[in-house]
Structure formats: C-alpha cells, structure tokens
Structure 1
Amino acid sequence: MTTILFISEWSDPDIWKKALEEVIPDLDFRVWPDVGDPDEVELALVWKAPLGFYSRFPNLRGIISLGAGVDHLFRDPGLPDDMPLARVVDPNLERMMSEFVLTCALYYHRDLDHFAAAQEEKVWAQTPAVRTSDRTIGILGAGELGGGAARVLKSQGFDVQVWSRRAKSFEGIRSYVEEDLETFLGGSEILVNLLPLTGATRRILNQQTLAKLPRGACVINVGRGAHVDETALLGLLDSGYLRGAFLDAFDTEPLPREHPFWSHPKVKVTPHVAAHTDPSTAAALVRDNLQRLRQGQPMRYSVTRFENG
C-alpha cells in the first residue's frame, strides 16, 4: 500500500486523488487533517502546511511542493535537515504562466491601461503603436517558468532579457547575472518577476531597485508577494514614476479588502491565478519520484535549503 498525505487549501483533493489513482493502483490517499496512522504516511504533497506538520510522520520519505514555489516548505523549524524535497515541474504550469505573462505584457504594450482610463473619462484618446521589437521586457528569474515566459515573449517579437544567479543561454535573449542588476533594470520597460523567494530575493523590488527602472516602466509580479516592498511600489506609482503594476501575488492572501491595491487606478489585481499545477499531468511525476525515493535516488526537481537563502 502506498500512503500519500495531501494538504492544500487551494487545490481540490478529489481531483488529485483521481489522477494519482490512475498511476498508483495501490494508493491510500489521505487528506489533512484526516491523517489516520501517521506511521503509514510515506509521501506528502504539500502547499503551506501548518507549523509542526513535518515532525508528526516518522516514516515520511519525502515532501513534494504542489507548486513551483518552495519557500513555504521552510517556514517550519521542525523540517528535518535531511528530508528530501522537490517541486512540481508541470508542462501545463509553464504553459499557463507563459500565457498569463504574455497577456499582462500585451495589456501594457498595447496601451489597454490608457484606454481603460480614457473610457472612464469618456475620452476618445488614441495612442501611436509601438512595434514589439522596440519594447524591452525584462524577466527576473530564468528557471523553468521564467525561461518559458521569455521564449514565448521572444516568439511574439519582443526584445527580451533575463536576470538570474547564473548566466542562461536562450536564443536571441540577453542574459544578465547578479552583478548586472542595475544595467538589467535600466533597460526593462516592462519588468516581470518570476524569481523564487529566498533570503536574497525577499523585497528585491524595493525603492532603490524599482527606481532603477526607466520612467514610465510597468511591473508584473507573478512571483511572491514578499518580493515587493508594497509601500515603495505605491509611492512610485503615485508619483508618476511608474506607469502601472499587474500583481498576482501578495504579502497577505487573500488580499485584505481594505488594501489600497484594490482601488488604485494604476494597479491590476488577480487572486494568485497565473498558473496552477494540473494533477492529470503532474501525477506521473509524483509516482516517479516516489519510486526514486524507494530506490534511494534523489527526486526529480529536488530543492535544497539554499533556495530559501
């Protein structure tokens, strides 16, 4: 019997159970908090587990994050140092993220924010068209999701550049590394954040870095809310230095009703929907990683504590 414990307030456990049963015939699928005997739990599929969660399962072989982000795994000081960890890398996740980033980029590239404001004032206000080749989009983070988004944007003719810890090689896309951040930001008319959240990247979008963007730049955050200094972002929007912000992730989720982002004329809010893991395509990865754990091999798409700084 294969006992897998599932915990997520955002994902439907019934859909995951059905997908996993198709690839793991002897599945015993348990949903938190209905754990049963904790000694029987072999693998945990997790999104934002409560503190103290990991210490309850003495025979746990490994933990898989249900999303590309892994920062939530490290919130619990009880996480064993030697616990194998992995993230879900799902082709559908990359496709959805690339679609979302392209949609947000086109929103600003085609001046839809300008036309929405003009409609509010009942003003017929056309703007000159800009070729995609004359629009530079910078992507913070060049992993699976950032790299996928960069390629899709490039396929639409945009001038694309990426920034990451190590140099990347994407055809026709400029790559910058850590020490080049100021140069990278200075050329990004539309900035997309797809970084992992680590100690080094927390609040990376702050007063100093956001002010390095060209005047009139736009920010798209599809990473984590903690990447952004919200006060600094609001100040630069209010001053007119930044043109707009399309935000899908926030410090507090759900976003409190009283938060100024909801009503700010230069901010677009979406409820952390840029990309979701598809259980039907991710189930095979879960099965394969369980087999690897049983054979003493590292899981595919393993993560380590350095990713949290």
Structure 2
Amino acid sequence: MINVLFAARPERWPLYETPLTEAFAEAGLQVHLATDIPAEMVDYIIYAPNSPLQDFTPYTRAKAVLNLWAGVEGIVNNPTLHIPLCRMVDMALTQGMVEWVTGHVLRHHLGMDAHILAQPGEWAPKAPPVAWDRKVTVLGLGELGTACAQSLARIGFDTHGWARSEKTVEGVTCHTDLSEALTGAGGVVLLLPDTPATTQIMNAGTFAKLAPGAFLLNPGRGPLIDDDALLDALNSGQLSHATLDTFRTEPLPQGHPFWHHAGITVTPHIASETRPKWSARTIADNIRRNESGAPLLHLVDRSRGY
C-alpha cells in the first residue's frame, strides 16, 4: 500500500479526492489517499504551495513532492525540503494556456476591443496587418511557452521566442539574446518562471525596444513586470494594451491602479488553471513511474528555481 498525503488547502480536497482515487486505480496502484496520514508513514505528498504544510522535516519516508501547480516559487526554496520536487505539467494545463494566449493575442492583433466597444453610428474601418506582418515574442520556452509559440506560428505570426539556453522550436525564431528577441516586437507574451534572473525583465529599457503600440500579455508571474514602467509605457503610447493574469499580490487589491487604467485588462489568474481530472492522471502516472523504477517526470532544478 502506498500512502499519499494530500497537502493543499481544505477547499481543494473535495475537488481532487474522486479524480485522484480514480486515477490511481486506472494506473494499477494500491493507494491510501488522505489528508491526515502520520508524517512518518507518508510515501508521497501532493502539494499546493499555499498549504498549511511548510515543514517537511517529519516526512522521513517520503519519496517525492508532487506540486499541483506549474509554478514552484512558493516551495522551491523551502529549507526543509530535501526530496525530489515535481512541478505540474499536464496536457489540459498546457491546452488552457494555449487557448488563453492565442485568444488574447488575436484580440489585440485584430483590434477587437474597438469594434466591441463601438457606439452606434461609429464607422471607422481599419484593417489590421496580417499575422505574418506582426512579430510576436514569447519570453520563456518551457512546456507552456513552446506550446503557445507553436500555436501562434501555426496561425502565421512572425513568432519569436527567448530562453536563456539555446532552443529549437519548429516555426519559431529562437533567441538567447533578449534585445534581439524584443526589438520591433508588436506583441510580447510572458511565460517565464519567477526567479531572481527574471524579476522585472520587462522594464523601461525592454519596453523601449518594442514596436510603438505593442501589446503585452502576462500569464506568467507578476514580478516579471516593473509595474511603474508598465504604466509609463501605456501612458506614453509605447504600449497600446496589457492583459495581465498574474500579479505581485493576489487577489489584486481593489485600489490598485491596474483596475482603473483603460489600457489594462485584468483576468483573475485563470490563464491555465489546474484541472483535477487531468492533473490527477499526471500525478498517478508519476507515482507509477517512480514505483516501477523509472525516473520521475518534470523534476525541478533547485539551482535554477524551476
């Protein structure tokens, strides 16, 4: 019997209990799944970083922590965690991000807001450029960034991607030079992890490299953007619009200027929500692999922070 502790906020347990139970059965695993297993008996921990569990010292038998979220910045530096940590990568999470990014890129590319918000009698035809005349740059070419870049490339956008290490993605011009990736871009999508190396990667200097009137999407992490520089870029017209799904403080405080700026769309961290049905299968498969002697998937590199 494999003892699996579900260590997330209490309201998530009813959402995950049945999908996890079914996924373990489908994987052929004999699992005792619960929220209150004695620490010394736990084999695996299914975890959300806002869980009350913050001290991993008592879990001497545990083989791995399986994160429910794609982001691991809330756990990766926990000094009591010394066992493998796996981030969440599943097909539904990826598909959700691709749909959100593609939809909002097309929204801004086509200028849909002007038509949707037009008053009766307004008639100002202005055709957008075709996709291949607009450079769109995706910062971050991990699982999510690569999938989104490929989707944009299939539509026909002049799609570029940036990562710190060399990447090859079909249909995408890949860069390791940030300036090259951003210069002349008419749209930018942020899909980077939150690390010291990525904090405020979009700032006054990097905004200035974009084509005038560019748009910005941030479904990545709030600290990737210098908030004051973003507002300045919008007010000057260097940016035409920013659609933001992640923020330094969540929920976004009611008095925050992002709520009231005409050039900003706020979405409530929904770009790629973890779906229990699909994430449960990913977790069950990873445990099955580890129990059979195969390597765990989606291991976090502690030195890089993701």
Normalising by structure 1, report the TM-score: 0.89
Is the contact made by 2:3 and 2:37 (CA closer than 8 Å) also made in structure 1?
no
Give the secondary structure class of the aligned counterpart of 2:243: strand
- Could you tell me which amino acid in structure 1 is paired with residue 275 of structure 2? D
Check conservation: 1:138, 1:187, Cα contact below 8 A.
no
Instruction: Tell me how far apart the structure 2 counterparts of residues 24 and 173 of structure 1 sit (CA, whole Å).
Output: 38
Aligned residues with identical type, % of pairs: 36
Residue 46 of structure 1 aligns to which amino acid in structure 2?
A: Y
**Separation of aligned partners in 1, 2:199 and 2:140:** 13
Q: Do structure 1's residue 157 and structure 2's residue 156 form an aligned pair?
A: yes
What is the one-letter code of the residue matched to 2:142?
G
Q: Distance in 1 between matches of 2:187 and 2:117?
A: 19
Gaps of 5+ in 1: none
Matches within 5 A, 1:1-309: 1-9=1-9, 12-25=12-25, 26-31=30-35, 35-48=36-49, 49-50=51-52, 52-80=54-82, 83-115=83-115, 118-119=118-119, 123-177=122-176, 180-294=177-291, 297-308=294-305
Q: CA, structure 1 residues 265+162, in 2 after alignment: closer, same or farther (shift >3 Å)? A: same
Cα distance in 1 for residues equivalent to 2:47 and 2:121: 48
From the superposition, tell whether residues 9 and 234 of structure 1 become closer, same or farther in structure 2 (CA, over 3 Å).
farther
**Partner Cα distance (1:291, 1:143) in 2:** 24
Between the aligned partners of 2:101 and 2:147, the Cα distance in structure 1 is: 10
Matched position secondary structure for 1:24: helix
**Contact 1:197–1:307 under 8 Å retained in 2:** no
Q: Secondary structure at the match of 1:204?
A: coil
Q: Which moved more, 1:104-113 or 1:274-283?
A: 274-283
Tell me which stretches of 4 or more aligned residues in structure 1 moved more than 6 Å.
none
For the aligned residues, what is the CA RMSD?
2.2
2:47 touches 2:68 (CA, 8 Å); kept in 1? yes
Residue 54 of structure 1 aligns with an amino acid whose one-letter code is: F
Is the 1:196–1:307 Cα contact (8 Å) retained in structure 2?
Answer: no
Task: Provide the TM-score with structure 2 as the length reference.
Answer: 0.90
How far off is 1:118 after superposition?
4.5
